[in-house]
Amino acid sequence: MARISAVQRRSDFIKAAVEVIAIYGIDGATTRRIAEQAQANLAMLHYCYDSKEDLFSDVYEYVSGRFRDVLKDSDPHSDVMDTARRLLRGVMVCYAESANFAAATLELISWARRQHGDRGIAVYDQALEALRATLRGADANPPIAPETVDQIALVIAALADGFALNWFTYGDRAAATEQMDIAESVLEAWLAARLGSAPVAP
């Protein structure tokens, strides 16, 4: 039987932790449960990670990486309307791929906010800044003012987070598909109204 590398084992433990956090919450995400989910022994988990905090740090990075991948798939050469729409759709699809991923993401951010205050805010701030950076790279003529970019990023986040909560709560894939279309149409209508009167960058 081929030996599994420590790097692969860490990846297994991270993905297992996402599943366990989704089911049991942060407090219920014991190392024993995570090891069982990864189909590994507890000693191997402790070999790969000195503490549960170290593992959770990698889980945060994994979640952030999933969202970074979404942003990379958004064409920076599209106009602002199309870029914003692609960003929203991409984040919602990322959530829709797994209700457990959506649940774990919401749990991790809420837990970090409760336990670590600034760190919880930083996690969300990083996601918003990534959205803003992608929007700033979109074609805009005339250029859009920074405050308008901020508003667009916040609207995308609000719509995506609302979708995630709905999907996590009901787990209805047919309804989720319809809700993605609705959220996208809401964004388009808001953008059409907002960009028509948006301030331009100096």
C-alpha radius of gyration, the chain, whole number: 19
Q: What amino acid is encoded at 34 in this protein?
A: I
Tell me the C-alpha distance between 135 and 127, whole Å. 13
Q: How far is CA 76 from the centre of its chain?
A: 19
Q: Which segment of 84-93, 110-119, 154-163 scores lowest on mean pLDDT?
A: 110-119
Q: pLDDT-derived band of residue 159, with 50, 70 and 90 as boundaries?
A: very high
Question: Band of the pLDDT at 114, cuts 50, 70, 90?
Answer: confident
Pairwise CA distance, residues 73 & 19, whole Å = 25
For position 1, what pLDDT does the model report?
A: 43
In the chain, the domains with their CATH numbers are 56-196 (1.10.357.10)
pLDDT score of 197: 65
The chain-wide mean pLDDT, for the chain, equals 86
The pLDDT value recorded for residue 51 is 87
Which range, of 40-54, 145-159, 163-177, 186-200, averages the lowest pLDDT?
186-200
pTM of the complete model beyond 0.85: no
- How many CA atoms does the CB half-sphere of 159 hold within 13 Å? 29
| pLDDT tens-digit readout, 9-61 | 999 999 999 999 999 998 899 999 999 999 999 999 999 999 888 898 888 88
DSSP 39-76: T--HHHHHHH-SSHHHHHHHHHHHHHHHHHHHHHTS-T
Digit-coded pLDDT (tens) for 117-156: 666 677 778 888 888 988 888 877 778 888 999 999 999 9
Query: Cα separations (Å) of 90 from 78, 83, 87, 158, 180?
Result: 15, 10, 5, 14, 10
How many C-beta neighbours within 10 Å does residue 121 have? 13
